[in-house]
Structure 1
Amino acid sequence: MEKIKRVAVLTSGGDAPGMNAAIRAVVRSGISHGLKVYGVIRGFEGLIGNEIKQILSTDVSNIIQTGGTILKTARSEEFMTAAGRLKAYENLKSRGIEGLIVIGGDGSFAGANQFAKEHNFPVVGIPGTIDNDLYGTDYTIGYDTALNTVVDAVDKIRDTASSHNRIFFVEVMGREAGFIALRSGIASGAEAILIPEVEGQLKKLMKTLAGRGEIKKSSIIIVAEGEREANIWEMAELVRKEIPGSDVRVSILGHIQRGGRPTAYDRVSASRMGIAAVEALISHQYNVMTGLVNNKISLVPLSKTIKMHKEVNRDLLASVNQLI
């Protein structure tokens, strides 16, 4: 098999701190292997619109410490169609590009996998999502930074909660999974953690809060946005009704969890996975995702990362009852 000579890289879906570190690693690793590396602006939408340009080593200087993505990102409805994917394929082929590296989450990988199958085109994925919900890797790019952002915010909220004896409900990201809520809740010493993976938490929460009485009125309740029993506003109103005299507030952290300088862990992990993605293409290992398992690089079929469900750490979950 002939050696790949030209590769493209794009970021897709929600942005995550550390994506720039991954882009930098792909570019510099690719160049060191004698490849020409191209960047696709605005993800799959840019692939369809032919927004593709060659990236040099100097183009990725001084980006490892920045959040967001220099390649921009966008969601593309047109890429969900066969016609849209055909346009993307033709644009890549017209430039002689022979491999594509996609940095994103499960939705991005689903599109990339479909594209790879339809056009027999080599694709490698790099897990970039703060939710950490991708099967086949212990950590995704951006997760560690998001955790630290949440913990820093909750530490500040606790100061005012303690000063006023308030109960704060703090909503963190996680529409389908409670990875951010669980780990940040433990790290910030939350009095309760509610995640989509566990049922019957609301009843237990009410019992816990009612039992605190005069001993400790201030509390921090971490809630994943995908919590199924009730939304954060409904929970707060329930506490107000069931515990008369309670001072209840709601804080939704929102998109601050996506931004900010990536932690050292995210920078190093993204760099390792970026290098591994280039090496996978060079060694003709296609349609896989690079991941970190037990702190070692692993390659997992893209189809498996999409189909398989990643569970929260049950040991961490069990430890919550002993810490609260």
Structure 2
Amino acid sequence: MKRLGVLTSGGDAPGMNAAIRAVVRKCIYHNVEIYGIKYGYQGLIEGNIEKLHVGSVGDIIQRGGTKLYSARCPEFKTEEGQRKGIEQLNKFGIEGLIVIGGDGSFRGAQKLTEKGFPCIGVPGTIDNDIAGTDFTIGFDTALNTIIEAIDKIRDTATSHERTYVIEVMGRDAGDLALWAGLADGAETILIPERQDDFEEVISRLKRGVERGKKHSIIILAEGVGSGIEFGEKIKQATNIETRVTVLGHIQRGGSPTAADRVLASRLGAKAVDLLLEGKAGRMVGIQNNKLVDYDIAEILTQKHGIDEGMYQLSKELSI
């Protein structure tokens, strides 16, 4: 292959720019032309494509978000949308495509591969909800953003002797809530994979009050429910003064951590290697600090699971 393309799709994640940079410079190192597709699959359909150079990715490794932008594209889920995308790729002479994103982005890459156009997926999502890899690009940065926020909230919780419910991202996966809760000593962690009984949460709060505990931190993944509604239920059940903080999209932004920059660089470069080796329909990942790759179709049939040992430890340490 002498000409490749790269796009970012779905929600942005810190470290995507580092992955783009790695793809571009790895291609140029191997004398392969590289084209950036702006606004994900929507830009692909519209032909929003430009050639990238070494200087195109200068000074972006430390930036959050994505230089190539991102957009949702329902049209690409259709046969017609996919056909238009392939026509644009052929028009620009692009022979292989690297897709940086989550499971929705990978489904698009799978469809292109099935239609004969080689694609490689790079997992970029703060939720860390992709099977086949220990970590996804953006997870570590988002986790540290959450921890920093909880540390500040805990200062206020201690000063005013209040219970705080902190809602974090994680519609279908609880890794952000679990890791943040364990790292910050939360009294209760609520995640989609384990629906804790409300009465158990209340009993834990009351036991804390009985032994003189003055404040509590509860981490709630958005997939479990509304933090505001949950906080109101706690207040009604215990008469404990309760406040709620919804962290929202602050979790997506910010300069990526060293861990995310290195991970993104490794995964982006590996994706180029796979295409140059003639492989297609694969996802790159990391397991036990070793780079791996799996069939995207196989990955999409699997579900990322939480670390059961960590979850049990969070219970044992929150007595």
TM-score in same-fold range (> 0.5): yes
| Cα distance in 2 for residues equivalent to 1:12 and 1:201 | 36
Question: Aligned pair 1:112/2:112, yes or no?
Answer: no
- 3-state DSSP of counterpart to 1:65: coil
What amino acid is the match of 2:278?
H
**1:203 Cα deviation after fit:** 2.0
- 3-state DSSP of counterpart to 2:89: helix
| Cα distance in 2 for residues equivalent to 1:163 and 1:201 | 29
**1:14 Cα deviation after fit:** 0.1
Aligned match of 1:206: 202
Q: Which residue of 39, 42, 60 maps to 2:39?
A: 42
Give runs of aligned pairs for residues 212-251 of structure 1, distance below 5 A: 212-213=208-209, 215-227=212-224, 230-244=225-239, 246-251=240-245
**8 Å contact 1:194–1:201 — kept in the other structure?**
no
| Cα distance in 2 for residues equivalent to 1:295 and 1:213 | 43
Aligned match of 2:316: 322
Aligned match of 1:157: 153
Gaps of 5+ in 2: none
Question: Aligned pair 1:143/2:139, yes or no?
Answer: yes
Q: TM-score, with normalisation over the residues of structure 2?
A: 0.98
Q: Which residue of 159, 162, 184 maps to 1:188?
A: 184
**8 Å contact 2:190–2:196 — kept in the other structure?**
no
**1:321 Cα deviation after fit:** 1.6
Which deviates more, 207-216 or 131-140? Answer: 207-216
Aligned match of 2:293: 299
**1:116 Cα deviation after fit:** 1.5
Q: TM-score, with normalisation over the residues of structure 1?
A: 0.96
| Cα distance in 1 for residues equivalent to 2:198 and 2:278 | 50
Give runs of aligned pairs for residues 73-84 of structure 1, distance below 5 A: 73-84=70-81
| Cα distance in 2 for residues equivalent to 1:213 and 1:256 | 32
- 3-state DSSP of counterpart to 2:306: coil
Q: Deviations over 1:205-234 (max 9, x none)?
A: 11101112251131110000001xx53222
What amino acid is the match of 1:239?
I
CA RMSD of aligned residues (A): 0.9
Aligned match of 1:99: 96
Q: Deviations over 1:1-41 (max 9, x none)?
A: xxx00000000000000000000000000010110000000
Q: Deviations over 1:214-257 (max 9, x none)?
A: 51131110000001xx532222112111212x110000000010
What amino acid is the match of 1:14?
G
- 3-state DSSP of counterpart to 1:169: strand
| Cα distance in 1 for residues equivalent to 2:45 and 2:145 | 34
Aligned match of 1:285: 279
| Cα distance in 2 for residues equivalent to 1:257 and 1:17 | 9
- 3-state DSSP of counterpart to 2:66: coil
Aligned match of 1:31: 28
Q: Which 4+ runs in 1 deviate beyond 4 A?
A: none
Aligned match of 1:129: 125
Give runs of aligned pairs for residues 55-70 of structure 1, distance below 5 A: 55-70=52-67
Question: Aligned pair 1:311/2:308, yes or no?
Answer: no
Question: Aligned pair 1:12/2:17, yes or no?
Answer: no
Question: Aligned pair 1:262/2:238, yes or no?
Answer: no
Q: How many residues are paired up?
A: 317
What amino acid is the match of 1:59?
S
Q: Which residue of 169, 173, 178 maps to 2:174?
A: 178
**8 Å contact 2:182–2:314 — kept in the other structure?**
yes
- 3-state DSSP of counterpart to 2:65: coil
- 3-state DSSP of counterpart to 2:35: strand
| Cα distance in 2 for residues equivalent to 1:236 and 1:94 | 55
**1:308 Cα deviation after fit:** 0.4
Identity across aligned pairs (percent)?
50
| Cα distance in 1 for residues equivalent to 2:71 and 2:226 | 28
What amino acid is the match of 2:67?
I
Gaps of 5+ in 1: none
What amino acid is the match of 2:241?
D
- 3-state DSSP of counterpart to 1:298: strand
What amino acid is the match of 1:84?
G
| Cα distance in 1 for residues equivalent to 2:268 and 2:311 | 31
| Cα distance in 2 for residues equivalent to 1:201 and 1:302 | 36
